[in-house]
Amino acid sequence: MVEQPGEETPQLTTLADFYDIKQVDDSLGYMVGSSGKIYKTTNGGVMWDTLTKPTHSSYSFYSLEVYSPTTFSVFGSTGTFLITTDAGMTWSVKNTSGSTLNGSHFSWNSNNNSYAWFTVGSNGYILKNALTVVPVELVSLSATVVDNNVSLNWKTATELNNKGFEIERKSGEGSWNKVSYLPGNGTSTSPKEYLFTDKGVKSGKYQYRLKQIDFDGSFSYSHVIEVEVGTPMTFDLSQNYPNPFNPSTTISYKIPENATVSLKIFDVTGTEVMTLVNQKQDAGSYTINFDAKTLASGMYIYTIKAGDYTATKKMMLMK
């Protein structure tokens, strides 16, 4: 951290050692260290937030490389190599040939975003073309419940070496279970859409997620969405999750009868910025993905109207 004349250098007190730091711009930056710690600042280092712990979070991360404000990779002990494309919300584990070396330096070819190479600490080993930095870009994931059927719909903006998606489900505190698999589109630069219906699900609350698998065996998980199977007894609009969020979040609602549903997003001045739903829907539970990548940071309001029912909640976008 560079200290300007007359300014006090911000301090971060943790039990972790810090090994690498990258500043994207005057506000946004990332930092890695021991015990699997990864931090993010959005105010020039005044405050640092701990990101979601990835797989292998007990290892130390020695090197960090940032490709965009939301896409970066970390490399650490025992050959650990991870990449995120959503600012640390989810992580993809990349193959490192079973290396048990420590990663101390990292570089990539900025003229070809499809490949990267890095050096790994001791013994002078060099691994080349180990990273694909244009991953499968999941732009939305939503769920619809009608009777005892749960329909999942998701869209990708681009795909690279995408073998396919495993659909996973769990109930309560139980384990994740694979319920189906859909093949991907390999490599594609055009948007793709997928639909899967989980039929005959017993009444109760469930969580779903996608496991996206590359042809090389590497994989990453989507965010988790929650649904309730069985016809709702009352109208309900849930608080979005996660909140605060960047750049996407999910909004869930329930309608106990068929109704024309309107779900809209407004800024704090009352100006409508987006319509998420505007159609007649059957009684059931719904989960909608809201992608705010084109909007500025700040407070937003979402309002649902279904028949005579109206509800409003607030949410915070933090970029």
Confidence of residue 6 (pLDDT cuts 50, 70, 90): very low
pLDDT above 50 (res 113): no
> At 247, which CATH number?
2.60.40.1930
Domain match, 260 and 290 both: yes
Domain match, 116 and 47 both: yes
- pLDDT, tens digit, 9 for 90 and up, residues 243-270: 999 899 999 999 999 999 999 999 999 9
Domain match, 187 and 257 both: no
Answer with the one of 128, 160, 179 that is the final residue of a domain.
Answer: 128
Q: At a CB cut-off of 8 Å and minimum separation 6, what does 200 contact?
A: 148, 149
Confidence of residue 13 (pLDDT cuts 50, 70, 90): low
**Six token digits for residue 91:** 């992580």
- Per the domain annotation, does 280 fall within a domain? yes
- pLDDT, tens digit, 9 for 90 and up, residues 207-222: 999 999 988 888 889 9
- Per the domain annotation, does 119 fall within a domain? yes
Q: Report the mean per-residue pLDDT for the chain.
A: 81
Q: What is the mean pLDDT of residues 144-168?
A: 90
Domain match, 59 and 118 both: yes
Residue-level pLDDT at 206 = 94
Nearest in space to 290 (alpha carbons), one of 315, 259, 256, 309: 315
CB 96 within 8 A of CB 82: no
Which residues partner with 255 through β-bridges? 284
Q: At a CB cut-off of 8 Å and minimum separation 6, what does 279 contact?
A: 260, 261
CB count, 10 Å around CB of 117? 14
CB 278 within 8 A of CB 297: no
State which amino acid sits at residue 157. Answer: A
CB 84 within 8 A of CB 71: yes
Domain match, 142 and 203 both: yes
- Per the domain annotation, does 153 fall within a domain? yes
Domain match, 116 and 177 both: no
- pLDDT, tens digit, 9 for 90 and up, residues 26-39: 888 898 887 778 88
Domain match, 29 and 64 both: yes
Domain match, 202 and 218 both: yes
Instruction: Give me the domain span that covers residue 211.
Output: 136-230
- Per the domain annotation, does 7 fall within a domain? no
Domain match, 317 and 274 both: yes
Domain match, 76 and 143 both: no
> At 222, which CATH number?
2.60.40.10
**Six token digits for residue 105:** 């330096």
Question: Sign (positive/negative) of CA torsion 278, 281, 283, 288?
Answer: negative
Answer with the one of 128, 152, 170 that is the final residue of a domain.
Answer: 128
Confidence of residue 105 (pLDDT cuts 50, 70, 90): low
Domain match, 26 and 123 both: yes
**Host H or E run for residue 252:** strand 248-255
- Per the domain annotation, does 13 fall within a domain? no
- For the chain, the helix, strand and coil percentages under 3-state DSSP, each to the nearest 5: 0, 55, 45
- Per the domain annotation, does 37 fall within a domain? yes
Nearest in space to 132 (alpha carbons), one of 107, 96, 160, 155: 160
Domain match, 31 and 111 both: yes
Nearest in space to 136 (alpha carbons), one of 113, 159, 157: 159
- Per the domain annotation, does 140 fall within a domain? yes
Looking at the structure of the chain, the number of domains it has is 3
Answer with the one of 101, 128, 155 that is the final residue of a domain.
Answer: 128
pTM: 0.47
- Per the domain annotation, does 1 fall within a domain? no
